[in-house]
Structure 1
Amino acid sequence: MNKQFLWASLIAVLLLTSCASRKNFVYLQDMQLGEKYPVETSYEAVIHKDDRLNITVSNKNPELAIPFNVSGGNFKVGADGNVTADNSTRTNENGYRVDASGNIDFPILGKLYVEGLTVSQVKELIKKRIEEGNYMNDPLISIEFLNFKYTMLGAVANNGTFTTNGDRITILEAIAKAGDLSAKAKVDRVAVIREVNGEREMHMLDLRSTDVFDSPCFYLQQNDIVYVEPRYRKKDNEDRGWQIGTTLLSIATVVCSILWAIK
């Protein structure tokens, strides 16, 4: 009975001390129960080179919108001045790629410079050009990203480049999609590297604080690189040595207590 109790005690100590190697941080630890935190509703993704955009034009008169939703075909102007497409046209299934100059080649309207614009700005640009050309009145423009991607590196479970539907993903959602932070992550040193006007800039986030909600990087942009800084090797070795020392001390204490108790 004494031996069984001894082994059970030793196993319990090992299980408890092994918990020291688990994550020692809490996300948003200053978030208060019942307090309101505003949600950013005006966020929009910015368009970059090599983006692929699915652009659809619609109208109360569907025939007028056909030429703006096809590629690779021929167009003709009817007696009434309306532009129509012939039977050889096909829909642009792969979207419109933003080229190295920041342009897309759009049916009828030709090249449009869209780099650096938000989705709503591109919608307004296309709508304005269609109306100025007297092709139709009140066109409705729908735009979606087909290749919205970001990269996760550092102390996360799964490093790599990820894609997402649409153009709205938060830094917390991106980390969750990468399998969460590892136990070695420095939760207050999460860097977001972003392309802005042909240059790269870095923002540093502290995921322990609700200040992250106000960061321009809380919502990721196309091609963002997220780097979660790991703890340094020296610190890891110190932590490991402390854990081993604590485990041995705990085991020794339990053994001595049991031996003293059974005398």
Structure 2
Amino acid sequence: MIKSISLLLLSFLIFSVSCVPNKKIILLQNLDANNRIADGELIPYEIMEYRLQYNDIIDVQLTTSADMKENGFSPQSNQMNNNRMMGQAGGDIYYMTGYTVDKNGNIRLPLIDEVNVMQLTIEEARLKIEVKIKEYVKNELYVKVKLGGIRFATLGEFRRPGKYVVLQERMTIFEAIAQSGDLTTLAQRDDILLIRQYPEGSKIHRINLNDRNIIKSPYYFIQPNDMIYAEPMKTRELGAGENASQSLSLFISSISALVLIINLVTR
């Protein structure tokens, strides 16, 4: 009886004292299975030109020649100041002032009504909107169209999982992770799930952040409405320590429990 209990607890200890190895948490490694990328080597990007989709928000600004003469190249307005204050407060600047692409791919603009921008690049959308506006505005004008920030969500083993809006045109997956407070020690970095939105629906891509070749992949730069999910390692399921200190503490506690059980059984 005592021997069986001892063997059972010994097996538990073998599983428990293991901690997370550095190879599992170090990013951008040269893994044996892939082509090595030397430090200092120029790595070409695979940048996919983003095309507008359902639920995107774009910012459309119109400036006429009269506006330029009065305000110069940096016109200020109460709306712009309100937007700046909202951004500093952590709000979504363009949710209230931008134009959302509906399920039919249209945005609705003042005066010219609906314009279909589905599957257009930002530049293509700008040119299309400009043509529509020129039907009503005869003065010289300048039309600026921007994507209203990059919206993405992080779930699972992040220190600050949540939904974020970043006001820039391009963002890497590592910047998105940093925005979420980094991954926890127990996050499975070699099998991150990236849920990406496409015109036909969504696709799940599995990526390896430990591999330096991620920089060459089309998933290095995130896109609007991406969701990043980090699964936990098996260590969490087993209840093992994250590092040597925690594992040693768990080992000592297990030994104490083993001695206590043996004393109770042998009485």
Kept in 2: contact 1:190–1:204 (CA 8 A): yes
Note the C-alpha offset of 1:59: 4.2
1:58 aligns to what?
63
The structure with the largest alpha-carbon Rg is 1
**What is the one-letter code of the residue matched to 2:143?**
I
Secondary structure of 1:38's match?
A: coil
How far apart, in 2, do the equivalents of 1:241 and 1:175 lie? 22
Kept in 1: contact 2:20–2:235 (CA 8 A): no
1:214 and 2:226 matched = no
1:101 aligns to what?
104
- Structure ranking higher on relative contact order (CA contacts 8 Å, 6+ apart): 2
How far apart, in 2, do the equivalents of 1:110 and 1:241 lie? 60
**What is the one-letter code of the residue matched to 1:95?**
G
* Compared CA separation, residues 184 and 142, structure 1 to 2 (3 A): same
How far apart, in 1, do the equivalents of 2:242 and 2:212 lie? 31
1:231 aligns to what?
233
Gaps of 5+ in 1: 1-17, 64-91, 249-263
1:77 aligns to what?
none
How far apart, in 2, do the equivalents of 1:93 and 1:224 lie? 21
Note the C-alpha offset of 1:208: 1.4
* Compared CA separation, residues 22 and 156, structure 1 to 2 (3 A): farther
**What is the one-letter code of the residue matched to 1:203?**
H
1:188 aligns to what?
190
How far apart, in 2, do the equivalents of 1:240 and 1:160 lie? 23
Secondary structure of 1:194's match?
A: strand
- Map 1:5-154 onto structure 2 (within 5 A): 20=19, 24-30=24-30, 31-39=37-45, 43-62=48-67, 94-131=97-134, 133=135, 135-136=137-138, 139-146=141-148, 148-154=150-156
2:170 aligns to what?
168
Secondary structure of 1:211's match?
A: helix
2:8 aligns to what?
none
RMSD: 3.4
Counting matched residue pairs gives 201
Note the C-alpha offset of 1:233: 5.3
Kept in 2: contact 1:190–1:228 (CA 8 A): yes
Note the C-alpha offset of 1:105: 1.2
TM-score (normalizing by structure 1) = 0.64
Kept in 1: contact 2:208–2:214 (CA 8 A): yes
Note the C-alpha offset of 1:26: 1.2
Secondary structure of 1:185's match?
A: coil
Note the C-alpha offset of 1:194: 1.1
How far apart, in 1, do the equivalents of 2:148 and 2:103 lie? 18
**What is the one-letter code of the residue matched to 2:106?**
N
How far apart, in 1, do the equivalents of 2:206 and 2:54 lie? 25
Greater fraction of residues in helix = 2
Kept in 2: contact 1:47–1:222 (CA 8 A): no
* Compared CA separation, residues 246 and 108, structure 1 to 2 (3 A): closer
**What is the one-letter code of the residue matched to 1:177?**
Q
* Compared CA separation, residues 168 and 236, structure 1 to 2 (3 A): farther
How far apart, in 1, do the equivalents of 2:100 and 2:236 lie? 47
